[in-house]
Amino acid sequence: MYDRTWVWLDEIWHPGEKDGLFPEGYFTHGDSGTLNLFDVSLSSLFLVYSNQAYSPYSMIDFFYSMQQENGQIAESYDIETKQPVFTSDNPLGVSLPLLSYVEYVFFHKIGNKKRLKDVVPVLEKYFLWIQENFRKENGLYSVPYSATHMGNLEREGAVYTVDYNAAIAVFALYMSNIGDILNDKELAFRYKRIYFSVKTRINSMMWDEEDRFYYDLDGEGNRIKNKHLGCYWTLLAEVPNDEYAAFLIDQLKDDKEFGTENPFPVVPVSSKNYAAGRNGYCGGVVPFLTYMVVKGLMNYGAFVFARECTIRHMYFILDTLHPDAEKQGNAWEIYKPDSEGPAGSADGFVNRERYLPMLGLVTITLVIENIIGLEISLPHKTVYWTMPSLEEMGIEDLSLKKNSITILSNKNVRGWEIRLESEKLYYFTIEILDEGKKKTLPIPSGKCSMLIDKL
């Protein structure tokens, strides 16, 4: 699936226009003729692993170049005319504020600190525009439903959605982290204050003590007891304390809630809106949301559970692509929660085939980071490999900014051995959870190996 995704991407990648707005190329889903900020943000999170064969910057930078004087960046633009495309249900073109998270990932996977300095003013203007247009008197944000990218999910009159407000917290948290990277104490403090303000409001207004869950609010600030996976944006934003997080994680494991065979449906099995993958997002499993939950779980030390869920989701993607030996299937935006195959489409909502912005998050990013278990930071020159137990796995020829590395574990007559190959020096940490072993070593250029028994 990893290799297949790159092949599919190559088939639809448009080469760069030297004098155009896409000097390093771009791709779109289908024949829409528009470029979408949400799609581009998701795609950037796996394009960082292409060693810039497919630029993760090109499409993001197009949106930055389109920023208006008031800070607005519309969610969609026509590729031919370069004009914003607005819809009646989202007249200002607001989207999920993922850009600071994306830039933070860029920094660690590509290592360009100057870029962070250059994009901070753009991100600040964009966030100010969101605040001025969507922040309400109670300190929470109210946006059109389409800005949450939850498809045909029934929002039941929600005015303040938990997923969007948690995404605001994500934006502020990573802006603060960028401030720390740049040693800009004023920037870091300012966004930390915004982060804690939103976090406090989510915890005090959206948390339901009885159900132990975060809910959307109506216009009067009353909780709407309509459970959906958007609640788990709070894990990515590090909003819940350890106690609240444990309650939320328990529901991800409960087969009467979100713990289906293919984790995790957008609405739980217990919901009146659950349709077992027959009605779009109402009970379907969406790779982007699986990515979001998995990354949230990592913030609370649930590596083994997150990995198990990623592997289960991958098998459903594989079984849908190859349902039997005679028939070729496809990849989809939404999957069934209890059997292989695409989820059914809904009225006015079509389940998109081979929707690469979401697919690549699982088949590339989660394969590297959560199935193999590699956490990589180029600026720190570090590779951290977490393995639940000893097994034969690894990755060959992973390109990291002019440095190709290979890390493989296998068993031979000398016992379990890790073989490493690199063109440049880096610092390698291996942690094997069920062996209770952890070791950090400098890895020189060239080939070397280490025996696990000697750690």
pLDDT tens, residue by residue, 16-38: 777 777 889 999 987 778 999 99
Residues 343, 420 within the same domain: no
Report yes or no on 129 lying in a domain.
no
Number of domains in the chain: 2
Residues 385 and 374: beta-carbon distance below 8 Å: yes
Q: Answer yes or no: is pLDDT of 308 > 90.
A: yes
Work out the pLDDT band at 277, boundaries 50, 70, 90: confident
Report the pLDDT averaged over residues 54-69: 94
Q: Determine the pLDDT at residue 18.
A: 72
Q: Are 353 and 401 members of one domain?
A: no
pLDDT tens for each residue of 139-163 = 999 999 999 999 999 999 999 999 9
Does residue 323 sit in the same domain as residue 413?
no
Q: What is the 3-state secondary structure (H, E, C) of 78-97?
A: ECCCCCECCECCECCCCCCC
User: Domain check: are 350 and 391 in the same one?
Assistant: no
List pLDDT tens digits, range 214-223. 999 999 999 9
pLDDT at 40: 96
- Is 341 among the domain residues? yes
| pTM for the full predicted model | 0.95
Q: Is residue 392 located within the same domain as residue 347? A: no
Q: Is the pLDDT of residue 325 over 70?
A: no
State how far Cα 439 lies from the chain centre.
29
Does residue 284 belong to any structural domain of this protein? yes
pLDDT on residue 20? 74
Q: According to the model, what pLDDT value does residue 289 have?
A: 97
Residues 257 and 356 grouped into a single domain? yes
Q: What domain range is 411 assigned to? A: 385-454
In the sheet that holds 446-451, the strands lie side by side as 393-399, 404-412, 415-422, 446-451
The answer to whether the CB of 153 falls within 8 A of the CB of 228 is yes
Distances (CA, A) of 81 to 21, 85, 90: 11, 10, 20
Residue 166's beta-bridge partner residues? none
Structural domain contains residue 26: no
Q: What is the mean pLDDT of residues 49-56?
A: 87
Q: What are phi and psi of 217, to 5 degrees?
A: -120, 150
Burial of 89 (0-12, 13-18, 19+ CB in 10 A): exposed
- Tell me if the bond preceding 46 is cis, omega within 30° of 0: no
Residue 376, classed as helix, strand or coil, is strand
Please state, in angstroms and as integers, the Cα–Cα distance from residue 18 to each residue in 13, 25, 78, following that order.
15, 9, 19
348 and 391 inside one domain: no
Residue at which a domain ends, from 364, 396, 413: 364
Judge whether residue 203 has pLDDT over 90.
Answer: yes
Helix, strand or coil for residue 6?
helix
Q: Both tokens of residue 68? A: 């208006």
Q: Which of 312, 332, 364 delimits the end of a domain?
A: 364
What is the rounded CA–CA span in Å between residue 448 and residue 405?
Answer: 12
Residue ending a domain, among 329, 364, 399, is: 364
> Which DSSP letter does residue 231 get?
G
Type of residue found at 137 = E
Residue 338 sits in the same domain as residue 443: no
Is 408 inside a domain boundary? yes
396 assigned to some structural domain: yes
Same structural domain for residues 350 and 401? no
Q: Is residue 401 part of a domain?
A: yes
The answer on 355 and 263 residing in a single domain is yes
Q: Which residues share a beta bridge with 411?
A: 416
* % residues pLDDT > 70 (the chain): 99
Q: What type of residue sits at position 336?
A: K
Residue 342 shares a structural domain with residue 412: no
Nearest Cα to Cα of residue 339 among 260, 240, 416:
260
Pair (347, 298) in one structural domain? yes
List the one residue out of 389, 451, 455, 381 whose CA is nearest residue 420.
451
Would the pLDDT of 400 be above 90?
no
401 pLDDT tier (thresholds 50, 70, 90): low
Domain contains 299: yes
DSSP 301: T
pLDDT in tens, 175-189: 999 999 999 999 999
